[in-house]
Amino acid sequence: MQGFVNIVQGFLDLGATVILPVAIFLLGLLFGQKPGKAFRSGLTIGVAFVGIFLVVDLLVNNLGPAAQGMVDRLGVELNVIDVGWPASSSIAWASVVAAFIIPLGLVVNVIMLVTKTTKTMNVDIWNFWHYTFMAAMIYAVSGSIVQGLIAAVIFQVVCLKVADWTAPMVSKFYDLPGVSIATGSTISYAPGIFLVQLLNKIPVIKDWNADPETIQKRFGIFGESIFIGLFLGAAIGILAGYSAGEVIEIGMAMAAVMVLMPRMVKILMEGLMPVSESAREWLSKRFGDREIYIGLDAAVALGHPAVISTALILVPVTVVLAVILPGNALLPFGDLATIPFVVAFIVGAARGNIVHSVIVGTVMIALSLYMATDVAPLFTEMAVNADFEMPEGSAKISSIDQGGNLVNWIIYKVFSLFN
């Protein structure tokens, strides 16, 4: 069993830049593409994700130290450390249930496609770690592998159904036809869509609007996404107490993120469209004129400037929330750079309105802080069992991404009633 787990872990360690091209290549062959064309599609998508994750690394490497600077300036002392999604995923894959998740997840997805209970063919296998964490969590609570796998399946089904529901919005707002997003962290913030709809019914507040197009019309050249990135990045640097040179550096980095991310997403769509068209033709011949979505990483939504703008504003907001919220014990750090991923549905539902997106994002992050605090004891126990090296001086750990995941938390609470 451990040998199989090591093989699975070795495959996943290759990352999305290898796993996704392989999955797209195999899908292309399945849908009748010639090997050369299928290989080109997979390779193009791999190149796009290399570019996307290079830009994400640029974002992470600049936001992480800035967030630490803000925390240090505020003198925050909280006893639960946000270790971020990389640590969460490694803890998940160290569980005894990990080996079952990928084959089980693929079988569940196929069954749902055949029974027409989903329209999403999720090729984002790398992000199955969210399902694995769910299974590991319930296994830690119950000691039952079966219960852990049932919890993982429930989590996956919710992700696929929400992906189906939000796919039209992803297609229209993000200009990603045939694409859905089933990433576990993004799915957690889907209830924010209802809060956006509520804001649009409240007098005065419904008229508060600041989308990239409106900003550009009002401020001209200085309203372009490259300048928005520069200004927001510089503001974060100032809040972090950076020197003038460092403020300019982080401003330039965020300007680069704003410009480069949309370019990478365009390359990704260049590789995906041939596969998507082949899939529709293949399904049409066998099941009639049926709509099908290709499930991809939420990184594809980061190409819209409103997503990055909202996320950059929410970084200092999250740090302040951690300080002022009574009962919160989580010190946000590792997952602050995950904020662009989790707000994607909120920004799409708000049609790029940064004001509404920040308001709703603030509410959802506040909930995440409380949920992450609540599961911290179990999260820490799982980390100790996985021989995870605890951050120096930390008594407990958790994360905004999975520890503060609403779907994860609800399923955990339900299973806790029986254990």
**For 400-414, b where at least 16 C-beta lie within 10 A, e where not — what string?**
bbbbbbbbbbebbee
Beta strand segments in 364-403, E: 396-398
Judge whether residue 198 has pLDDT over 80. Answer: yes
Sheet of 80-82, strands arranged across: 330-331, 80-82, 396-398
pLDDT at 95: 83
Give the tens place of pLDDT for each residue, 108-134: 998 998 888 999 888 877 788 899 999
Give the tens place of pLDDT for each residue, 351-392: 888 889 999 999 999 999 999 999 999 998 888 887 777 666
**For 234-260, b where at least 16 C-beta lie within 10 A, e where not — what string?**
bbbbebbebeeebbebbbebbbbbbeb
Q: How far apart are CA 233 and CA 225, in angstroms?
A: 12
pLDDT at 160: 95
pLDDT at 217: 58
* Tally of CB atoms within 10 A around 57: 11
Model's pTM, two decimal places? 0.82
Give the tens place of pLDDT for each residue, 222-275: 557 677 778 878 888 888 788 888 888 888 888 888 778 777 877 877 777 787
Structure-token match 């460092």, residue found: 246
- Tell me the sheet residues that pair with 80: 330, 396
Return left, alpha or beta for 392; rule: phi > 0 is left, psi -120 to 50 is alpha, else beta: beta
Task: Band the pLDDT of 60: cuts 50, 70, 90.
Answer: confident
Judge whether residue 212 has pLDDT over 80. Answer: no
Give the residue numbers spanning the domain of 286.
1-416
Terminal CA-CA length for the chain = 26
pLDDT at 302: 80
State mean pLDDT over 267-288: 73
pLDDT at 149: 94
pLDDT mean across residues, the chain:
83
Give the tens place of pLDDT for each residue, 79-109: 888 888 878 888 888 888 888 888 898 899 9
Q: How far apart are CA 206 and CA 214, in angstroms?
A: 15
State mean pLDDT over 163-175: 92
Q: Which residue has the higher pLDDT, 155 or 19?
A: 155
How many structural domains comprise the chain? 1
| CA angle centred on 107, ends 106 and 113, rounded to 5° | 90
The SS3 assignment for 82 reads strand
Judge whether residue 279 has pLDDT over 80. Answer: no
* Tally of CB atoms within 10 A around 102: 18
Q: How far apart are CA 268 and CA 262, in angstroms?
A: 10
